[in-house]
Chain A
């Protein structure tokens, strides 16, 4: 998809009073959408007695909350856990989903259609239905309360496989044939020839897998019991319960959980929006 698809068509550029009103309403609506984030950050820089003060810019901004939350040590740990889990799951998805997607898109073999349908059919099965068997499996194999226990259900996804298959189908067969003639083996062809041609899809898959795992709550809540192994959302939830009404501390915790996604968004905005469009239209 080219960039032109992301910017509005030129013919609509004429300015009329209706347009100005629409723009103003959209802008106000946008500010309202962002206000929970704005107040969250604002309050994270306030002292307890300023919390009731509605001003967005704190009268006397302080880093005390961040220092207190981070000095606790648990947040660092949870942050590290989430980062580790999300990174490993993302690498695994990028590898396996694209390898399977490529195999299904570019090889003729008996059972291809069956395997494709089988993988696709797992999209119909909600996670909630699998958590009880996963929990049982984890307890029997000693995976409860471990990093692997948090990660294993998401190491491959049908959605990612389907997305990658769609994109590998657009890679010309001539490229693959030419690589075979050059003496590359099939793995090298996938890795060195096909994969570089689908980097937009791969980066979209990577971003979504990472964000999805960074924000995941349900399964990590079930599989972890010791606080050292909590992911950031689960840790934050337990931390907030503990803090009760110390809202400035809770907002600081929430802000710490949000900052990485903000950075990812600011750096990769273009790819993310394009990726949502790709995934939404193809998926």
Chain B
């Protein structure tokens, strides 16, 4: 029977009575499986992508039809001091947040991997924040950062004799205070991925190194870190993309003056949101989304490039 099936499939001609060949029948199944998804991806993903590029070249306020202005939005963006401030903020989140969270995550994963006593429990403590709702936890952190006697962090600082800090009320500290929230939320995921990466390194490498008399530190530097490189690169990119798209925390921790104080915490996505849905400057907002897309694309391509080069 199987042989007949195979011959049918190979020759493409029906052997038994039905009008269609096995291959045609199977193709009909394939395209009926794919019909709705192809429609979905075309209408909900590809068409809007091209539309975003097109809208970025127009002047459009939702009321009158879009008017083509070519690169005027990009030129405006280039000349907009607010954009450069937002650009700087966004990269601050990325450049400070990514290394701190990765070093922390690796250190925790490295030691947690060796812990047996209450391993699952401790892992759960670290992982749980990853599953929480950012919009909800932003309010918890906002409460933590309040001045005394409400804010817990200031209360604890007072206990150890450190003067009260303004945190999210200060233009210098607000961005870092929000960044802590984002690092806290993402750490658990990175720890789990690092631990998976550590487990994937074959024990024979470690055994060989011990026979050669390498110490813990040398093993970490010469074996663990190099073999962990694909994991690290993946996490650098994943975390960078997360920081470049930061929104929920900033929006919820600065509702009085979104992105404040004085725009000191405003990331690109919040600027896009305000330009599009507060000012209804849709074309200008679309240009900002294209800039975001370009930055994210460069980060992803860098990942591919780094991984390919060193393999």
Interface residues of A (CB under 8 A from B): 5, 7-9, 11-13, 19, 22-23, 25-27, 29-31, 33-34, 36-37, 39-40, 43, 51-52, 54, 96, 99-100, 102-103, 107, 109, 115, 118-119, 122, 124-126, 128-137, 139, 152-153, 155-156, 161, 177, 180-181, 185-187, 190, 211, 214-215, 217-218, 221-222, 232-234, 236-237, 240-241, 245, 247, 250-251, 253-254, 257-258, 261-262, 264-265, 269, 272-273, 276-277, 280-281
Residue numbers in A under 8 Å from B125 (CB-CB)? 30-31, 33-34
9 new A-B contacts, CB < 8 A, other than A128-B289, A218-B247, A251-B140, are A7-B119, A39-B140, A133-B55, A217-B133, A251-B139, A261-B132, A276-B189, A277-B193, A280-B192
Nearest Cβ distance between residue B33 and chain A, in whole angstroms?
Answer: 5
B21 within 8 A of A: no
In angstroms, Cα B269 to Cα A103, docked, is: 36
Complex alpha-carbon distance, A222 and B29, angstroms: 38
Cβ–Cβ contact A126 & B277, under 8 A = no
Contact B139 A51 (CB under 8 A): no
> Closest residue of chain A to B286, judged by CB?
A132
A-B contact pairs, 17 of them (CB 8 A): A7-B119, A11-B203, A36-B137, A36-B184, A37-B128, A39-B140, A52-B149, A99-B33, A115-B38, A124-B296, A129-B293, A132-B276, A155-B40, A233-B133, A250-B139, A257-B136, A281-B196
A100–B199 Cα distance when bound, in Å, is 31
Given A26-B112, A254-B137, A277-B196, do A187 and B48 touch, yes or no (CB 8 Å)?
A: no
Contact A250 B143 (CB under 8 A): yes
Q: Is the CB of A8 within 8 A of B119?
A: yes
In the bound assembly, the distance between CA atoms of A124 and B294 in angstroms comes to: 10
CB distance from B191 to the nearest CB of A (A): 10
Q: Which residues of B contact A118 (CB under 8 A)?
A: 41, 46
A171 to B62, CA, bound (A): 50
Q: Which of B26, B44, B139 has the most CB of A within 10 A?
A: B139
Assess the A236–B136 pair: CB atoms within 8 A.
yes
B192-250 CB contacts (< 8 Å) to partner A: 192-193, 195-197, 199-200, 203, 234, 245, 247-248
Q: Which residues of B contact A153 (CB under 8 A)?
A: 44
Interface contact A257-B37, CB-CB below 8 Å = no
Is chain B's binding surface mostly helix, strand, loop or mixed?
Answer: helix
- Distance in angstroms between the alpha carbons of A130 and B124 in the assembled complex: 35
Q: Which residues of B contact A161 (CB under 8 A)?
A: 37
Q: Does B111 contact A (CB under 8 A)?
A: yes
Complex: how many Å from CA A277 to CA B135? 25
Q: How far is the CA of A201 from the CA of B305 in the complex (A)?
A: 29
The answer to whether A30 touches B122, judged by C-beta atoms less than 8 angstroms apart, is yes
The verdict on B126 contacting chain A, using a C-beta distance below 8 Å, is yes
Contact B34 A253 (CB under 8 A): no
Complex Cα–Cα for A137 and B159 (A)? 55
A interface majority secondary structure: helix
Instruction: Indicate if B115 sits at the interface (CB-CB under 8 A).
Output: yes
Residue contact B133 to A215, C-beta cutoff 8 Å: yes
Q: Are B128 and A265 in contact, CB atoms less than 8 angstroms apart?
A: yes
Hey, which chain A residues are within 8 Å of B134, CB to CB?
215, 217, 233
B167, CB-defined interface residue at 8 Å: no
Given A126-B292, A132-B289, A254 and B245 contact (CB-CB distance below 8 Å): no
Question: Which A residues touch B166, using CB under 8 A?
Answer: none
Q: How far is the CB of A220 from chain B (nearest CB, A)?
A: 10
Residues of A within 8 A of B2 (CB): 177, 181
- Nearest A residue to B129 by beta-carbon distance? A33
B297 within 8 A of A: yes
- Closest CB-CB distance, B259 to chain A, in whole Å? 15
Given A240-B139, A265-B131: A33 in contact with B184 (beta carbons within 8 A) = yes
Cβ contacts under 8 Å, B137 to chain A = 36, 40, 254, 258
A273/B286 in contact, CB under 8 A: no
The docked-state distance in angstroms from the alpha carbon of A52 to that of B140 is: 14
- Judge whether B20 is part of the interface by a CB distance below 8 angstroms: no
Give the distance in Å from the alpha carbon of A161 to the alpha carbon of B41 in the complex. Answer: 12
Nearest 7 pairs of A and B residues by beta carbon: A30-B125, A133-B48, A233-B135, A186-B29, A254-B136, A277-B196, A129-B289
A190 CA to B195 CA in the complex, in Å? Answer: 34
B150 at the interface (CB under 8 A from A): yes
Do A5 and B37 have beta carbons less than 8 Å apart? no
Q: Any chain A CB within 8 A of the CB of B152? A: yes
Chain B neighbourhood of A129, CB < 8 A: 49, 52, 289-290, 292-293
Residues of B within 8 A of A281 (CB): 193, 196-197, 200
Give Cα distance in the complex from A106 to B300, angstroms: 29
Question: Least Cβ distance of B219 to chain A in Å?
Answer: 13
